[in-house]
Amino acid sequence: MTELKPLIDRKYRVYTDRRHTFVAGSSMGGLISLYALCEYPKVFGGAACLSTHWPGTFTLRNNPMPAAFLRYLRTALPSPRTHKLYFDCGDQTLDALYPAIQREVDAVVQARGYTAASWQTRYVPGQDHSEKAWSRRLDWPLRFLLGK
């Protein structure tokens, strides 16, 4: 936040305010995008998290990570009045680990006051955990976050 964003703001003709600043990523990038939104709510107005890697590893067995993420989100999510969230996941390969956890995340997001205007989660049956899959659906979070 102290190097890249200021560099982009100086070097390129961009809107620099929160309303026009979003972060996006897939897999672990989805986790870090959500973290960036939570930790820097004055900078980012929204996050797109594709195939968010909730397990943090490659198994759910005896894995404390999903519960830790849920605890964090219960207090760290920024206001739904000023922020937007997008999540999605498939059900193949590594994405098969995500739907059950995503439903728990969705419950936390909804409990924090997010509605259809500020939050969207999409399940994409048959999709796997790959750049090819994410590229097929990248327009969904972009349309949601940016409008139009």
Cβ atoms 44, 66 nearer than 8 A: no
Which segments of the chain does DSSP mark as H helices, in order?
4-11, 28-39, 65-76, 99-111, 131-137, 139-146
Rounded mean pLDDT, 78-93? 98
Q: Which amino acid is at 94?
A: L
Structure token digits, residue 23: 């972060």
> What are the structural domains, with CATH classification, of the chain?
16-146 (3.40.50.1820)
**Best CA proximity match to 86, nearest among 115, 52, 120, 117:** 120
**29: Cβ–Cβ under 8 A, 6 or more apart, which residues?**
none
In tens, the pLDDT along 17-40 reads: 999 999 999 999 999 999 999 999
Q: What's the pLDDT band for 2 if we cut at 50, 70, 90?
A: confident
